[in-house]
Structure 1
Amino acid sequence: MPIDPLHTPEYVPVGDEYATIVTNKGTVVVELDGLGAPVTVGNFCELAESGFYDGVKFHRYEPGFVIQGGDPITRDMDPSDVAAGIPGPAGVPGTGGPGWCIRHEYDVNPRNSHVDGAIAMARSAMPDSAGSQFYLCLGPQHFLDSGYTVFGVTEEGLDVAHSLRAGDVIESVTISHGNPAA
């Protein structure tokens, strides 16, 4: 599948979006920053609303650093194989995406801060290579501020985020306008 390095999502954030990420360990509610990172939030919302993240596993866990997921390659894999990094039928966990990339926004987002619980886009060495993979910070990681787009922060379930490990399942991601728990 050809890669369009500058996919522009049709979803235009209004600035009140929240993502509810339901995992096998519990729920994480993230306030999305649609004003600071509109392309990234638009892309994430489109993917979530299409069911793209449903059943995908977290494939990378670095203690005190990040938990990373969003790779569709992991969807049909056994969680223990994902945790071990064993290739599945569609490839190696951590190498998949939606078939496109989005423009980075880390240098234009005034709130691009990797605080504990921040959600940000994973990417390769190329600045405009993010697609679907994201990570949650497990502690402040400010050295990443100048190279990775933060697009929200955990409002509820930070303890759940910290309990996640490679192989854990993203059961669903839903988008709401306004805090769903309020």
Structure 2
Amino acid sequence: MDELQQIVEDMNRDGVAPKQRELLQYVGGVEEDMIGSFPYEVPEEYRNMPLLKGRATVDMKVKVKDNPNLEECVFRIVLDGYNAPVTAGNFVDLVERHFYDGMEIQRADGFVVQTGDPEGPAEGFIDPSTEKLRTIPLEIMVELGLYKAQTKLPFNAFGTTAMARDEFDNNSASSQVFWLLKESELTPSNANILDGRYAVFGYVTENQDYLADLKVGDVIESMQVVSGLDNLVNPSYKIAG
């Protein structure tokens, strides 16, 4: 806090956001240590899906094309399985399957960066065990369980990580994921068209500013779970086939 106070006194605007993120990560770690066991039961119909019962961290390494100032970048993504266990679990399971490795950035329009649409006719992940498209429900955790209450994971930060889905089918998300390229003042919580429509399950916490430099055709060289894999239950990637 003393360092943040000094940044404010020095009127160092560029230093405020990084220090805020550092403090929030510290607070998040303290809160996680206080939780202990997973605090609630996942609805029975989703209980056998890959679930992230806690937090996990994923490093995404991207090869950047046609940019003399940036050849590659590693983005760190912190996933919140406490508030989105099905969505985050699905993503971690796909990461462990190396589903995204070698995949290109498929959308970069100044508002979001998106990937996750595999080659072929399918618009998501085909589960080898069923040979069918695996989809997950729209997962929105709200404060106090009240309809239209403030969402616990809002679109309020550059690098907000969420699942894409069909516009007219809430439960059609599969593997396509996007990152928000707008700051919180442009997308205030519960005052934008995204909160409650798409499932947020994490935030990019390192190098998020470079998301704006990504273009269609840039390649995700790898995604790797660097912590929290032990919080994943029912991992399908361990099932043969």
TM range (shorter): 0.7 to 0.9
Residue number among 122, 126, 137 corresponding to 1:103 in the alignment: 137
| Cα drift, residue 108 of structure 1 | 4.4
1:119 is aligned to 161
Show CA shifts across 1:120-145 (max 9, x none): 00000200010000001001444201
1:8-23 counterparts in 2 under 5 A?
Answer: 10-23=49-62
| Cα drift, residue 112 of structure 1 | 2.3
Task: Count residues with an aligned counterpart.
Answer: 153
Larger radius of gyration: 2
1:37 is aligned to 84
Q: Secondary structure at the match of 1:143?
A: coil
Q: CA, structure 1 residues 100+108, in 2 after alignment: closer, same or farther (shift >3 Å)?
A: farther
Q: Secondary structure at the match of 2:98?
A: coil
Q: Read off the aligned partner of 1:123 and give its amino acid letter.
A: R
Asked if structure 2 preserves the Cα contact closer than 8 Å seen for 1:27 and 1:160, the reply is no
TM-score, normalised to structure 1's length?
0.76
Residue ranges of structure 2 left out of the alignment (5+ in a row)? 1-44, 64-71, 126-132, 144-150, 229-241
- Superposition CA RMSD, Å: 2.0
Pick the structure with more helix per residue. Answer: 2
Q: Read off the aligned partner of 2:57 and give its amino acid letter.
A: Y
Q: Secondary structure at the match of 2:171?
A: coil
Q: Secondary structure at the match of 2:95?
A: helix
| Cα drift, residue 106 of structure 1 | 2.4
Q: Secondary structure at the match of 1:160?
A: helix
Q: Report the identity percentage.
A: 35
Asked if structure 2 preserves the Cα contact closer than 8 Å seen for 1:7 and 1:101, the reply is no
Q: CA, structure 1 residues 71+14, in 2 after alignment: closer, same or farther (shift >3 Å)?
A: same
2:227 is aligned to 177
1:151 is aligned to 201
Say which structure, 1 or 2, has more relative contact order (CA 8 Å, 6+ apart). Answer: 1
2:231 is aligned to none
Q: Read off the aligned partner of 1:53 and give its amino acid letter.
A: Y
CA distance in 2, matches of 1:26, 1:7: 35
Q: Read off the aligned partner of 2:219 and give its amino acid letter.
A: V
Show CA shifts across 1:86-145 (max 9, x none): xxxx25xxx621021101112548422112110000000200010000001001444201
Q: Read off the aligned partner of 2:99 and give its amino acid letter.
A: F
| Cα drift, residue 177 of structure 1 | 1.9
